[in-house]
Amino acid sequence: MIKIGIVGGTGYTGVELLRILAAHPHAELTAITSRKEDGMPVAEMFPSLRGFVSLAFSAPEKTPLHECDVVFFATPHGVAMAQARELLAAGVKVIDLAADFRLKDTAEFEQWYGMPHSCPDLLAEAVYGLPEINRAAIQSARIIGLPGCYPTSMQLGFAPVLAQKKSLVNESALIADCKSGVSGAGRKAEVHALLAEASDNFKAYGVKGHRHLPETVQGLQAIAGRKIGLTFVPHLVPMIRGIHSTLYATILPEARDIDFQSLYEDYYRDSIFVDVLPAGSHPETRSVRGSNMLRIAVHRPAGSDQLVILVVEDNLVKGAAGQGVQCMNIMFNLDESTGLRQVPVMP
C-alpha cells in the first residue's frame, strides 16, 4: 500500500483526491492536514465521504507527513515550495496541484503569481505532470508540478498538430476559447461565484491575461520544439464541473491534404485517458463527469482552412486530482488506470 498524505484537503481538488483515493486499491490515506479544521473528521465536513474516509484533519505541525510515500499539495500557490525540500529529504515524493512547480522560468512565475520562487533548484528538477506527454520523466520523478485545468485541455488538444516535425498550422496565431464550470475557481467564498451571481449567466474573464497562458505557451513550445503564439480567452459556465475548450488553428496551404482525424487517433492510440471521438462528433462535458477521461473531436468546417478542435475534461479529475493519481500510479509502477476507472455519471 502507498502511504498518502494530503496537505490542504478542504478545497475541491482536495475532496476530489479523497473521493478517488478512498477507492484506490493500493492507496492508504495516512494524513490530511488543515490548520483551521484540526481535529474535525473529514466526513463531518464532507458527508459524501461518510463510510469511506475515517481520517480527521490534523494541524500540519502534528502530522508526520515524512512517514508518507507521497504527499499531495492541494493548497494555494506557495505552500508546496515551502515544504517540498524537507519531504524530499525524507524520501517522500511530492505532487503539487498548485502552480509552484509549473513554470520553469522563475521570473515568469514571480510576474504571474506575485511571489518569489523559494527553491529554483527543485523547480529545475520538477517534472510537469502531463502523462500523455511526459510519461517517462514522470516515472522517475521526485517532484511533480501538475498542469492547471485549462492547460491540460489546451495542450492535449493542440499536441498532435504541434508535435509534427513540420508546422501544419499557423503556430503563431493559435486561439483557445475555453469554458469552465465554477468549481475551477475553488471552494472560496467569493461573491462572483455565488449561485445567485453565476447561475443563468455567462461571461468571459481574464481576457487581458490569465495565469494559465504562460504555462500553456511553455507546454506547447516544449511539444512543438518551436515558438508558438496563443490567444487564450477563458469563460465561466453556470455548471459545477467540466471544461470545454474550443481550439482554432489555421491550416497551412502545404498541410491541406492532411487527414487530421487519423493524426489525432494515431497520436493518442496508447493513451488510455484520451478518447478521440469519431469524425463529426461534439463532445459534451457531462460525458466525462467524475472521470479521468478527456475527449477530443476534430473538425474542419466545410471549405475552410480552419481546424477546430473540441476538447472536454472534468476539471477536478483529468484537470487536477485524477491527473495527480495518474502520475502517482506511474511513479509507483502501477497500471496507469488503477483506481481511475470510474464510469462518468450521466445524466
Footprint of a copy of itself on 235-254 (CB under 8 A) = 235, 237-242, 244, 246, 248, 250
Cell numbers for 118, please give them.
523559494
Footprint of a copy of itself on 29-48 (CB under 8 A) = 46-48
Phi/psi of residue 127, nearest 5 degrees: -110, 140
Please work out the total of residues on this chain that contact a copy of itself, with binding judged by CB under 8 A: 87
Cell numbers for 195, please give them.
449561485
316 vs 327 by CB, closer to a copy of itself: 316
| By CB under 8 A, residue 54 contacts a copy of itself | no
- Provide the β-strand partners of residue 180: 236, 243
Instruction: Provide the 10 A C-beta neighbour count for residue 306.
Output: 14
How far is it, in rounded angstroms, from Cα 68 to Cα 16?
19
Q: Measuring CA to CA, which residue among 239, 271, 276, 311 is closest to residue 135?
A: 271
141 vs 217 by CB, closer to a copy of itself: 217
| By CB under 8 A, residue 175 contacts a copy of itself | yes
User: In whole angstroms, how close is the CB of 85 to a copy of itself at the nearest point?
Assistant: 33
Residue with cell 508546422: 167
DSSP state of 116: -
Site string for a copy of itself, 302-341 (x = CB under 8 A): x-x-x-x-x-x----------------------------x
Is residue 344 a contact partner of residue 28, using CB atoms and an 8 Å limit? Answer: no
User: In whole angstroms, how close is the CB of 143 to a copy of itself at the nearest point?
Assistant: 28
Which amino acid, residue 93?
Answer: K
In this structure, the strands spanning 243-250 and 306-313 are antiparallel
How far is it, in rounded angstroms, from Cα 263 to Cα 259?
6
Footprint of a copy of itself on 183-212 (CB under 8 A) = 183, 185, 187-191, 193-205, 207-209
Please indicate whether residue 119 is annotated as part of the active site.
no
User: In whole angstroms, how close is the CB of 142 to a copy of itself at the nearest point?
Assistant: 29
61 vs 270 by CB, closer to a copy of itself: 270
125 vs 344 by CB, closer to a copy of itself: 344
Q: Supply the residues annotated as catalytic.
A: 149
